[in-house]
Amino acid sequence: MTLVAENPDVMYRLLVQSVVDYAIYMLTPEGIVANWNSGAQRAKQYRAEEIVGQHFSVFYCAEERARHVPMSGLETARATGRFEAQGWRVRKDGSVFWADVVIDAVHDDQGELIGFAKITRDCTRQRQAELAQHEQERHFRLLVQGVTDYAIYMLDVDGHVVNWNAGAERAKGYQAAEIVGQHFSVFYTPDDRTHGLPQQGLATARREGRFEAEGIRLRKDGTHFWTHVVIMPIHDDDGQLIGFSKVTRDITERRAAELEVLKAKELAERYSEKMAGLSRFLDSVIGSIPASVIVQDAGTREILLVNEQAQRLFGLHDQPMIGRQAQDCMSPVLAGYIDEQTRQCLSHSGLRQTEDRLRTTIGPRVLRTKTLRRVDQEAQADYVLLIAEDVTDEIAAREQIHHMAHHDALTGLANRTLLHEQLGTALKDSASHSRRVATLCLDLDKFKNINDAFGHAFGDKLLRAVAERLRGVLREEDTLARLGGDEFAIVLPRLEQADDAYRTARRIIDCIAPAFLMDGHTFLIGVSIGIAFTGDAQLSGDQLLIHADMALYEAKRNGRNRYEVFHQNMAEAAQRRRTMEIDLRKALHLGQLQLYYQPIVGIDDTRITGYEALMRWQHPSKGLIMPLDFIALAEETGLIHEVGTRALNLACQEACTWDTEQSVAVNLSPAQFKNRELVNIIQLALNDSGLAPHRLELEITESVLLENSEENIQTLRALKALGVGIALDDFGTGYSSLGYLRSFPFDRIKIDKSFVHEMDHSREAMSIIRAITGISSSLLIKTTAEGVETQEQFARLKAEGCSHLQGYLFGRPVPVSERKRS
């Protein structure tokens, strides 16, 4: 030990000699072997006495020696200090091995080259493994590129296409140069992309190790095709995700594809020994088919092939089934099903398809089963192919869609579509059995006020409660439908007499009358009903519903919470309303709506302080039409917004031409407050005309404060902020409340003309006038009494402290051209 420690050369020599996995030896500058370790002897089979003194090129094959490869390595080491290479080397017995070689130049203390140190490692096993892997990868690459029926390609972790096989080009129409680098979501429909389906598929594959689905995909030319898709994650040796493999199959022609697969399978089995690799591949393809596949011998009924889907569906996991009959490996029910399908297939030619409900090992399922007999004359074989597709979810979805298409989602009642179907059936039945059919159209009274005040959630809950009450008063054969909003319809078939329908209508009114208690609130509503019967004339379902709707209109017009029965004059009235609506639309377009102005005077000197703008319709054939005859129709049809905007713009424009600072008052319909743009419309009318805001006064009725009061108060405040005046019209005629006057600072209260006309002979009318003027005076609000026609009325109103007057005593409404003369 002392000798080795004191002599480093000895220590290094012993160390080198002890290494048996590396050939370590020295070469002279000319390449002559100078020494030899045990690793070199083991690798190259030469003993030291056999090889020392020989040129190291003896380890190279003749071809490399001819190309001076050995000396080239020494020259590189001499020039750069080191040479590294891999290659085949020759042992003493002539066999070759794959070597990893390092040659280092060795210099003395003066820097002179004295030789080379050469280390060689036998890497034959690693090299063979690499070559085998490269060959396997080449085979896989050729296999994938050769598959044309499947789109097989890789995605990076973000979903971009990395490679592309011939099957993908065939299926989707893109060449590799066009699609590699693009995101795979290009194959999805715009709707699927919007809903994030591509990213969901990758997320599922990443999380669960596999994603499988069917769906519509797009080709390059924009055409659609159905696909079966499998996405699986790919990890490197460290377990890091590096991408995804994606296999896409066009299943548009699934039946043909399945039969072709079976045919290929039969061919593969005939040449099983020669085509074993292809057979395994086809087994995997059949295993990936999302339907259960069973192939039987037609004669013996033995099972010859079964895929994993069939094993799961028919409970074949825990026992062998190839070569056995169905009754030997399945439950009696399932075996009986398979045998009956096979028997029917053998007794009928061609493809046969059935759809059956069956209790399987995974529960009750609906199976769409296709069977086909295939006779191979050459192989003298007779097969029965059975493909069972589980369509339980598809059937359930179809039934759900049908239900949704025929029922109201909120109440579960029939919808308009189902109502028409049931009405059509009832009409056919009535024609053959001489029985009457009644159709009822229902509309809930006061429902809108509740919906506006408490919100849609309360409204929906109330509608469901109403639906339950209505169900309770109808017969089983009656059809109750919700048409939308608070509108319902009922079909009463097979009526013996009209009274049956009237009794039903009264039961409906009575069942809705009791209060509805919900979330601590009590609601009272009513119902208006229109009834129409089949008669001698053959009416369609649409006509019957139209008649019932006309009767409903009359019920609402006559006070609500009642029923009306259709008669022909309702149709004539409806036609008149439709004609007037058409004419009113034309009038708006042709400028036939004009303003007349009635003066408003001060009580002290009867000087005109302003005018109320009153709409008149100059009809080309009917002459001058008053607002009472068309404003209600405008509100009913929604034309009130255009009529109101016309009145505002015209009043502002015409008032701007006056040579005085007199104000102009314009009436606003409660319906106009439903327009969220009302404030902007008024602001625009002021801006376009140039009228000072203080000269415009807007008149509203109490109903504006009753309907959606909080929101309408906010609108009034926004209008007030513009600088215009706000007047409360017809105060005292409706649900008058001092709360209105506290909730909003009105500029003027107008006393309805009915109180003015009755004050001479009605103490109540006089008391109301006195109360209004007293309250207005204390709140510093101006009052205008309407309908003043006599000096006596003038005197009494002045005595009560009314600040302004309006009526025929001071002037009738006149066109703008006659305003000055009035």
How large is the average pLDDT for residues 609-622?
95
pLDDT value at residue 2? 44
673 three-state secondary structure: helix
pLDDT value at residue 11? 47
pLDDT value at residue 584? 92
* pLDDT classification of 536: cutoffs 50, 70, 90: low
Show Cβ contacts of residue 141 under 8 Å, excluding neighbours closer than 6 positions.
Answer: none
Q: How many residues does the chain have?
A: 822
Please name the amino acid found at residue 704.
V
Please name the amino acid found at residue 98.
W
Cα separation, 745 vs 460, whole angstroms: 35
pLDDT value at residue 386? 85
How large is the average pLDDT for residues 717-730?
93
Cα separation, 527 vs 550, whole angstroms: 15
pLDDT value at residue 337? 83
Q: By the 8 A CB rule, do 152 and 167 touch?
A: yes
Cα separation, 738 vs 456, whole angstroms: 29
pLDDT value at residue 801? 93
Alpha helices in 243-318 (DSSP H): 254-270, 276-288, 308-314
Sorted by where each starts, the structural domains of the chain and their CATH numbers stand as 2-122 (3.30.450.20), 129-250 (3.30.450.20), 254-394 (3.30.450.20), 407-566 (3.30.70.270), 581-818 (3.20.20.450)
Show Cβ contacts of residue 800 under 8 Å, excluding neighbours closer than 6 positions.
Answer: 769, 770, 773
Pick from 798, 801, 797, 802: nearest CA to 784: 802
Tell me: pLDDT of 547 over 90.
Answer: yes
The dihedral sign for the CA sequence 564, 627, 725, 805: negative
Q: What is the largest CA-CA distance in the chain?
A: 153
3-state helix, strand, coil in the chain (%, to 5): 45, 25, 25
Tell me: pLDDT of 374 over 60.
Answer: yes
Helix (H) or strand (E) holding 544: helix 541-557
Please name the amino acid found at residue 60.
Y
Cα separation, 312 vs 360, whole angstroms: 9
Q: By the 8 A CB rule, do 641 and 671 touch?
A: yes
Tell me: pLDDT of 807 over 80.
Answer: yes
Instruction: Please identify which residue in the block is written with the tokens 């008024």.
Output: 682
Q: By the 8 A CB rule, do 453 and 548 touch?
A: no
The residue with greater pLDDT, 417 or 283, is: 417
pLDDT value at residue 439? 96
Instruction: Please identify which residue in the block is written with the tokens 């290094």.
Output: 12
Work out the percent of the chain whose per-residue pLDDT is above 70. 87
Cα separation, 663 vs 668, whole angstroms: 16
Q: Which of 182-191, 533-542, 688-697 has the lowest mean pLDDT?
A: 533-542
Cα separation, 446 vs 512, whole angstroms: 12
pTM of the entire structure? Answer: 0.47
Helix axes 709-721, 678-689, angle to 10 degrees: 20
The residue with greater pLDDT, 329 or 781, is: 781
* pLDDT classification of 46: cutoffs 50, 70, 90: very high
Burial label, 366 (beta-carbon count in 10 A; 0-12, 13-18, 19+)? middle
Q: Where are the beta strands (DSSP E) in 188-347?
A: 211-218, 224-235, 241-250, 292-297, 303-306
Q: Which of 56-60, 462-466, 600-604 has the lowest mean pLDDT?
A: 56-60
Other C-beta atoms within 10 Å of 640: how many?
21
* pLDDT classification of 282: cutoffs 50, 70, 90: low
Q: What is the mean pLDDT of the chain?
A: 85
Cα separation, 364 vs 333, whole angstroms: 12
Other C-beta atoms within 10 Å of 542: how many?
11
CA-to-CA dists, residue 390 to 288, 289, 307, 362, 369, angstroms = 15, 12, 14, 11, 9
Please name the amino acid found at residue 407.
H
How large is the average pLDDT for residues 716-737?
83
How large is the average pLDDT for residues 185-192?
93
Show Cβ contacts of residue 655 under 8 Å, excluding neighbours closer than 6 positions.
Answer: 611, 662, 663, 664, 689, 691, 695, 696
Pick from 422, 519, 516, 403: nearest CA to 470: 516
CA-to-CA dists, residue 581 to 556, 595, 669, angstroms = 19, 20, 18
Cα separation, 79 vs 72, whole angstroms: 11
CA-to-CA dists, residue 214 to 161, 207, 578, angstroms = 20, 19, 52
Q: Which of 25-39, 178-192, 240-254, 256-270 has the lowest mean pLDDT?
A: 256-270
The residue with greater pLDDT, 488 or 311, is: 488
How large is the average pLDDT for residues 166-172?
87
pLDDT value at residue 1? 46
